[in-house]
């Protein structure tokens, strides 16, 4: 990666006190570059071709996105593109986050109570739709507050950023009202919830219930967005998080209780989904009461 393309927040605004910059921006075409800060960008009007980590999107009014540290993106073919930009360092949210270089890691601290709901999903580097306009109004409030810089502005910024992240979390976990799982997939989900601590395979379920494995595997992935194995791991790690938070059981005891005999494999699955170890999760979870 060409480090000469890194943008520093110090080059954009005065962050000696706030560690946050807010701006309304008429965005011109801009080549690929990296960030040494987090960016929350909201499309007020216009369109553009946005390339983010190799993926191209056509940006439109009412869309927003978080850019992670080190993510490469560019704007091309801009047509009257106007953005609200919120640029901030992780320590603006919490001083203990100095040195944090991942949006996922940031969420572990400021959204830990809810982060488990979105296991395995990356919040950053994806496009969100502000269908009800709430995120846009919150960001506009932040722009106005930034211009005035009155007593307590920093706390207001933190509160509104947290509110934006909560609204975004709802978008990640929301299942449309018109959508329900098929009877067969619902049956599999209940089977996993009931037997997650036991050895599980979709083949065993198919044998007992006389289903075709390839068909059911394909149907399960289509409806849930995960393979059978991935969903089992997700459920087991969720149960593990509950035990880490509510009991004094050892990590080894918890791993066995949720169905893992191989402790090393358990640690790798847990860290892949939560980007931290079970002990780190317990320390953080109990630290926030």
**Phi, psi (degrees; rounded to nearest 5) at 26:** -85, 100
Tokens of 236: 């087991």
The CATH number that domain 183-287 falls under is: 1.10.10.60
Helix or strand (DSSP H, E) at 47: strand 38-52
Contacts of 160 by beta carbon, 8 Å cutoff, 6+ apart: 138, 139, 141, 142
Residue pair 185/224 in contact (Cβ under 8 Å)? The answer is yes
CA atoms within 13 A on the CB side of 131: 4
User: If you count them, how many residues does the chain have?
Assistant: 289
Fold of the CATH domain 3-173: Jelly Rolls (2.60.120)
Of the candidates 165, 174, 148, 145, the residue with the CA atom closest to the CA atom of residue 64: 165
Q: Could you state, in order of their start, the residue ranges of all structural domains in the chain?
A: 3-173, 183-287
Tokens of 288: 């926030």
Contacts 24+ apart (CB under 8 A), 176-181: 181/223, 181/224
**Residue 25 β-bridge partners:** 83
SS3 83: strand
Residue 129 to residue 161: CA distance in whole angstroms: 17
Q: pLDDT of the chain along its 289 residues, tens only?
A: 333 444 554 445 544 456 899 999 999 999 998 888 899 999 999 989 898 888 888 898 999 999 988 888 999 988 899 999 999 998 888 887 888 888 877 777 666 666 555 555 666 777 888 989 999 999 999 999 999 888 999 999 999 998 998 888 877 765 444 446 788 988 999 999 999 999 999 999 999 999 999 999 998 988 887 899 999 998 898 889 889 888 999 999 999 999 999 999 999 998 887 778 899 888 876 654 4
| End-to-end CA separation in angstroms for the chain | 41
**Phi, psi (degrees; rounded to nearest 5) at 249:** -60, 150
């Amino acid at each position: 990666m060409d480090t000469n393309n890194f943008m520093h927040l110090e080059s954009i605004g005065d962050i000696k006190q706030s560690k946050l910059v807010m701006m309304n921006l008429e965005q011109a075409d801009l080549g690929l570059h990296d960030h040494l800060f987090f960016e929350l960008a909201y499309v007020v009007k216009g369109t553009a071709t946005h390339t983010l980590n190799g993926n191209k999107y056509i940006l439109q009014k009412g869309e927003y996105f978080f850019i992670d540290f080190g993510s490469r993106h560019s704007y091309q073919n801009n047509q009257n593109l106007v953005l609200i930009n919120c640029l901030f360092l992780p320590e603006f949210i919490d001083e203990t986050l100095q040195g944090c270089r991942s949006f996922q890691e940031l969420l572990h601290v400021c959204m830990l109570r809810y982060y488990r709901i979105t296991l395995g999903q990356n919040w950053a580097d994806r496009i969100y739709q502000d269908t009800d306009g709430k995120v846009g109004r919150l960001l506009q409030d932040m722009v106005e507050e930034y211009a005035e810089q009155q007593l307590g502005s920093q706390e207001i910024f933190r509160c509104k950023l947290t509110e934006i992240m909560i609204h975004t979390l709802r978008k990640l976990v929301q299942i449309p009202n018109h959508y329900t799982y098929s009877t067969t997939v619902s049956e599999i989900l209940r089977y996993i919830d009931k037997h997650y601590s036991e050895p599980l395979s979709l083949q065993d379920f198919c044998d007992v219930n006389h289903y075709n494995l390839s068909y059911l595997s394909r149907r399960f992935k289509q409806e849930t967005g995960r393979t059978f194995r991935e969903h089992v791991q997700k459920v087991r790690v969720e149960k593990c998080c509950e035990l880490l938070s509510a009991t004094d059981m050892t990590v080894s005891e918890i791993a066995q209780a949720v169905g893992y005999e191989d402790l090393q494999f358990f640690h790798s699955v847990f860290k892949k989904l939560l980007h931290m170890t079970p002990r780190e999760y317990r320390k953080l979870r109990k630290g926030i009461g």
